[in-house]
Amino acid sequence: MNAPIAHQPVINRQLTFRFGAIFRKSGLKLALGLGLVLAVLQPAAGQVKSFASLVSDFQEYNRKALQEKIFLHLDRPSYVCGETIWFKVYTVEGAHHHPLDMSKVAYVEVLDKDQKPVLQGKVALKEGTGSGSFVLPVTLEAGNYSVRAYTNWMKNFSQDFYFQQSITIINTFQPLGLKTLTDTAAYAIRFFPEGGHLVRGLPVKVAFQAQNSVTGKGAFCQGEILDQTGKVVASFQPTKLGIGYFRFTPTGTDHYTAQIRFANGKVIQQKLPPVQEQGFGVQLEDSNSGELRLTVRATGEHTGTLYLLGHTRQRVAVTASAPLTNGQALFSVLKDSLPEGITHFTVFNSQQKPVCERLFFKRPAQELEIETSIGKNQVGTREKVALDLRTQFGAGASTSANLSVAVFRNDQLATSNPADIKAYLWLGSDLRGTIEQVSSYFSETGPKADEAFDNLMLTHGWSRFSWEQILSQQTPAFAYLPEYDGHLIRGKVTQATTGEPAKGIRAFLASPGKLIRFYSSVSKGNGAVLFDAKDFFGQKEVVLQTNTLKDSIYHLQLLDPFSEKHAKTALPLFEVSENLKDAIYLRHLEVQAQNIYFEKSLNRFQAPKIDSLAFYGKPSQQYLLDDYTRFKVMEEVMREYVPGVMVRKRRDGFHFLVLDDANRQIFQEDPLVLLDGVPVFDIDQIMAFDPLKVRKLDVVTSKYYNGSLVSNGVVSYTTYKGDLAGFPLDSRALLQEYEGLQLQREFYAPAYDTNEQKLSRLPDWRNLLFWAPELVTDESGRASLHFYTSDQPGSYSIVVQGLTKNGLPGSKVLTFEVKKPL
């Protein structure tokens, strides 16, 4: 059933009125609120049905195109080569920001200024969170880099959806070219008409964003708008971080020109967007009566009914219709009916084509409040610091939350502010481009702050989808599946002679080892094969092959799982001032001392908690060959004490016939034969293998199903080291190193509980005192932890970020001083 559309009663054919209604469909709340002047009878039934169908199509599209968001809490904003980047991953569903336990893998990359990856990792996720790390090699050039994160499912959508945060990396082992910075500013300004267009004769609010194009930061300026005769029709200056607005009414279709003066005296001229002869315009006004008034104006021959659809994070919030009377229609929306966050208002003409759009931000009424306390603001070196945390919301109501905590020394090396989970989920993830000092929009209140929010909606407006996709009723095609269980390894099978994709060819992927893991897949029409590699951790050697006894003319390759798409976001300019010389030298000493005196402690990893059973589970029969007489020929081993497998020699060589216990008969075809998890198709090769190199033999005496692969039993050999022990692989098999999910590096920090520890002569010059990626407060919202200060005095920050189960994000920063004892 389609979403209902309001039918307006007619009273004296001219009447102004307001009404509101709440509709529910499958648990989805549709709020209608509008005020309008009626000048015609209610819309024709065909038009109402068409717009209702559009709303229904929009809902159906979003049901299929589930939006996933990802956020990274990085431990610090700046690093030096040799240090470790630590990060916590939060994944949420886009509509309500609830933790989303869909994707089990996050892809995290460090990109250079040319968008080339210098570090890449796959991070295991559980119940929407995970953590990882990168050690920064000393081969990196100093500069600003970008850390980005996404899931396999997110690769189906725009790269602008990926999380992205700039960081500074200093290489203290290379000359930095320290210099006194000079003003090398170059400026740029962009203009954004409200609703999307300048239309002749329609009053318009035009937002602008002025930036230093070298640093990427907002720039103060003063400017005038000149018409074609040179007359000033408007003047402007920004109100916050280079962003502001002005109003005027275009009277002609010629270009208008902006003349702008910047703080250093530089003057530039730039044309405004072109003026359309006919079209639509929209103005949004936030009244004090709790209503938003959207005035839509049109010029030319536009008539009929206009339709309004408002959606918040792609969930329908408002649907309404109004007649276009004397070139104007008025919609009034109750703010209380809108969800929190960004609502996109789209106006459709009588043919249900989108003609203009406007964004509005409603401040969240509640957020995760994080209280932090260390008892005092000043502590000594090598002193224990107890940190008490409490998470709550509303009027002091306690709540449990999943948190991450970092404690680090402040310096001047960072060129950007750390990402804030609250600001990112509510703003950054739903707006285009980089938002400067995004957290400040939430810390400030009052009319000026509300105006800054609205200007941000005008300058960074952006939709996560194209209306053309919905209007054409195209079924979304998703090339990348969600990784529900683990990493999906992608490959391709092609004809070795022509390079054309090969369809319907079964490929086998295995990683030699004591832990038997084996995967198979049949190639699609484009030659693609997909292996669901659950519990695939660490750097491994993998073998990709086809059954060379049947399919020996194919070329195999493994595909890069990382995204090749990149957002068009410029990194801040990297310049190192002479004033930072001491700070850089100190960081150099810090990392050197850590790596010299604590190297062993810095390279410890946690063993992943995975099932140690082979992929086929508990075998029907298992033989530890050292418990038996050791024969030197494999045929003797199989014939003498493996009753579940009959050995037969035919004209084409040896064959294994496994007993089918369930049906009390013998399978007539060869079973799946494995050596350290790698399939062996030629039984003669196994029979020629030295049995003294084999430690264990497993036999499965029943049919085994591995996806679409059905095997007549399994015969699995394991060598002592799990490294194939010199077994010759077919020359057509692909042997390649492949990095699986990251192993968890353990964070190390020394303890100073005793006098002996405090008097240790080992220098402790840690910049990062503490990192805890997984801290959960109890039902009363409380948690406690402790850490120890280092030998380094200075100002330190405690940064806490987190999320509740019902999607409330929050963050807190606490600073304290460390001083050397007198």
Mean pLDDT of 698-706: 93
For residue 498, is it within any domain?
yes
Are the C-beta atoms of 452 and 489 separated by less than 8 Å? no
- Residue 218 domain-assigned (yes or no): yes
- Is a pLDDT exceeding 50 seen at residue 118? yes
Q: Of 235, 258, 275, which marks where a domain is finished?
A: 275
- The mean predicted confidence, pLDDT, of the chain is 88
User: 542: domain range?
Assistant: 489-558
Edge-to-edge strand list for the sheet holding 554-558:
528-533, 487-495, 554-558
Q: Is the pLDDT of residue 47 over 50?
A: no
Rg (CA), the chain: 32
248 and 323, same domain (yes or no): no
Mark whether 239 and 285 lie in a shared domain: no
What pLDDT shows up at residue 791? Answer: 95
The residue that leads in pLDDT, 785 or 415, is 785
Q: What is the mean pLDDT of residues 499-505?
A: 95
Q: Is 398 exposed, middle or buried (0-12, 13-18, 19+ CB in 10 A)?
A: middle
Shared domain for 650 and 717, answered yes or no, is yes
Contacts of 35 (CB under 8 A, 6+ apart): 16, 17, 18, 291, 293, 330, 331, 332
pLDDT of residue 35: 31
Letter for the amino acid at 781? G
| Assigned token pair, 354 | 């989108």
| The last residue of a domain, from among 275, 308, 334 | 275
Q: What is the percentage of the chain residues whose pLDDT exceeds 70?
A: 93
pLDDT at 24 (0 to 100): 30
Which of 282-291, 604-613, 668-677 has the highest mean predicted lDDT (pLDDT)? 668-677
Element (H, E) at 170: strand 163-170
How far is residue 307's CA from residue 810's CA, in Å, rounded to a whole number? 37
pLDDT given at position 661: 87
Angle subtended at Cα 483 by Cα 481 and Cα 488, rounded to the nearest 5 degrees: 85
Same domain, 284 and 219: no
Domain co-membership, 651 together with 732 = yes
Q: What is the mean pLDDT of residues 579-608?
A: 89
Q: In the prediction, which pLDDT does 40 show?
A: 30
Are 304 and 358 members of one domain? yes
Q: Are residues 209 and 235 in the same domain?
A: yes
Ramachandran category for residue 781: left, alpha or beta (phi over 0 → left; psi -120 to 50 → alpha): left
Q: Are residues 735 and 649 in the same domain?
A: yes
- Flag whether pLDDT at 297 surpasses 90: yes
Query: Is the Cα torsion angle 569, 574, 580, 581 positive or negative in sign?
Result: positive
The torsion region of residue 677 among left (phi > 0), alpha (psi -120 to 50) and beta comes to left
Residue 502 lies in a domain: yes
> Between 802 and 821, whose confidence is greater?
802
**Structural domain includes residue 510:** yes
**pLDDT tens profile 54-91:** 899 899 888 888 999 999 999 999 999 999 999 999 99
Q: What is the CATH number of the domain that holds 734?
A: 2.170.130
Which pLDDT band, with edges at 50, 70 and 90, does 396 fall under?
confident
Predicted pLDDT at 176: 78
Whole-Å CA distances, 224 to 230, 237, 455: 10, 9, 18
pLDDT band at 184 (very low <50, low <70, confident <90, very high): low
**Tens digits of residue pLDDT in 202-227:** 999 999 999 988 778 899 999 999 99
In a domain, 369, yes or no: no
pLDDT band at residue 615 under the 50/70/90 scheme: confident
pTM for this entry = 0.90
**Does a structural domain hold residue 801?**
no
> Which among 516, 540, 558 is the end of a domain?
558
Count of alpha carbons within 13 angstroms of residue 44, beta-carbon side: 6
Q: Give every CB contact of residue 48 below 8 A, 6+ residues apart in sequence.
A: 5, 7, 321
pLDDT score, position 36: 31
**Range 265-292 average pLDDT:** 91
Band of the pLDDT at 690, cuts 50, 70, 90?
A: very high
Considering the domain architecture, whether residues 532 and 629 belong to the same structural domain is answered as: no
pLDDT (0 to 100) of residue 20: 31
The answer to whether the beta carbons of residues 431 and 820 sit under 8 Å apart is no
Give CA–CA dist 388/372, Å, rounded.
Answer: 6
Confidence of residue 180 (pLDDT cuts 50, 70, 90): low
pLDDT band at 630 (very low <50, low <70, confident <90, very high): very high
Which residue do the tokens 């081969």 mark?
A: 139
Which is nearest to 747 in space by CA: 76, 70, 139?
Answer: 76
Judged against a pLDDT cut of 80, whether residue 548 lies above it is answered with: yes
Question: pLDDT, tens digit, for every residue of 21-44?
Answer: 322 333 333 333 333 332 232 333
Number of domains in the chain: 4
Using alpha carbons, list the distances in angstroms from residue 375 to 384, 537, 688: 12, 42, 72
Instruction: Indicate if 224 and 285 belong to the same structural domain.
Output: no
332/41: higher pLDDT:
332
CATH number of residue 326's parent domain: 2.60.40.10
Same structural domain for residues 239 and 289?
A: no
User: Residue 468 has what pLDDT?
Assistant: 81
Q: Is the pLDDT of residue 577 over 90?
A: no
**Placement of tokens 């801290």 in the chain:** 775
**Which residues in 639-677 are b (16+ Cβ under 10 Å) and which e?**
eeebebbebeeeeeebbbbbbbeeeeeebeebbbbbbbb
Distance CA 179, CA 174 (A): 15
- If you ran DSSP here, which 8-state letter would residue 438 be given? T
Angle at CA 501, nearest 5°, toward 497 and 503? 115
Residue 257 lies in a domain: yes
Pair 647, 712 in one domain = yes
> Which pLDDT does position 264 carry in this prediction?
82
Residue 414 lies in a domain: no
pLDDT above 90: percentage of residues in the chain: 71
Query: Minimum mean pLDDT among 16-25, 108-117, 142-151, 735-744: which range?
Result: 16-25
* Biggest distance spanned by C-alpha atoms of the chain: 105
pLDDT of residue 178: 65
Q: What is the pLDDT of residue 373?
A: 95
Q: Of 646 and 33, which is predicted with more confidence?
A: 646
d(CA 752, CA 791): 11
pLDDT at 424 over 90: yes
Any idea what the CATH number is for the domain that residue 234 is in?
2.60.40.1930
